[in-house]
Structure 1
Amino acid sequence: MFYLGGFFGVITLALWIFAVVDVITTDEGSCRNLPKFGWLILVLFFPLVGSIVWFVAGRPQTSGRVYRGAYERETPRFPEYDRPGRFAAGSPDDDEDFLRRCRERAEEQRRKGREEG
């Protein structure tokens, strides 16, 4: 005869272990709604409820996933480029000042090369 309480206990234990390991290996800045230490305490003292709440409200969201052919991989995120008001040219040809500085630098390097050689 199948014992339902034992099955529920094993599932709870597996979920709890997975949640504890997940909380420990998650980056401090990636946790949502509570500090990492708070999530660890919650999951340790309330195994079933804490684990479920961690997966629903605390675990980092992985919205940066992109499907690429047969493989799925995470796209790199650079939060310093997501600042509001930051100007970024669409292509190098759009930023005339950048191109002018590149030309000046190249010309200066050529001139120094001719003087040395």
Structure 2
Amino acid sequence: MAQVFATLLLLDVALVMIALVDCLRADESAIRTAPWAAWMFAILLLSPIGAIAWFVKGRPVPAVPLRPRPVFVAPDDNPEFLKSLADRLGQ
């Protein structure tokens, strides 16, 4: 039972540390819903709820998506595939 509590405590400390570093590195003008100092107090005093709230409601939204989603085109709708198929068949 002590190992479970130690593991939960370690996870809580890790989550709070990650949230604090993320909050410190965030641009103050981009932080949502509350000022920077309020988020710092919430993360430190309301552990782990404050850290979870930071990631859900306070963290700045990235301006650009990390990866664009690939557009899937079915082979029968892809003109390049149809042309290569026709070339392979000798037409």
Work out whether the TM-score is over 0.5: yes
Q: Is 1:60 matched up with 2:60?
A: yes
Deviation at 1:41, TM superposition (A): 1.0
TM-score with structure 2 length normalisation?
Answer: 0.67
Distance 2:10 2:66 in 1: 34
Q: Is 1:17 matched up with 2:46?
A: no
The residue type paired with residue 35 of structure 1 is: P
- Tell me what 1:43 maps to: 43
Deviation at 1:12, TM superposition (A): 0.4
The residue type paired with residue 57 of structure 1 is: K
- Larger RCO: Structure 1 or Structure 2 (Cα < 8 Å, ≥ 6 residues apart)? 2
Higher strand fraction (1 or 2): 1
The residue type paired with residue 21 of structure 2 is: V
- Tell me what 2:89 maps to: none
For structure 1, the residue ranges without an aligned partner over 5 or more in a row are 69-117
Percent of paired sites with the same residue = 29
Runs of 4+ in 1 over 6 A off after TM superposition: none
TM-score with structure 1 length normalisation?
Answer: 0.53
Deviation at 1:67, TM superposition (A): 2.6
Give deviations 1:67-112, integer Å, cap 9, x for gaps.
37xxxxxxxxxxxxxxxxxxxxxxxxxxxxxxxxxxxxxxxxxxxx
For structure 2, the residue ranges without an aligned partner over 5 or more in a row are 69-91
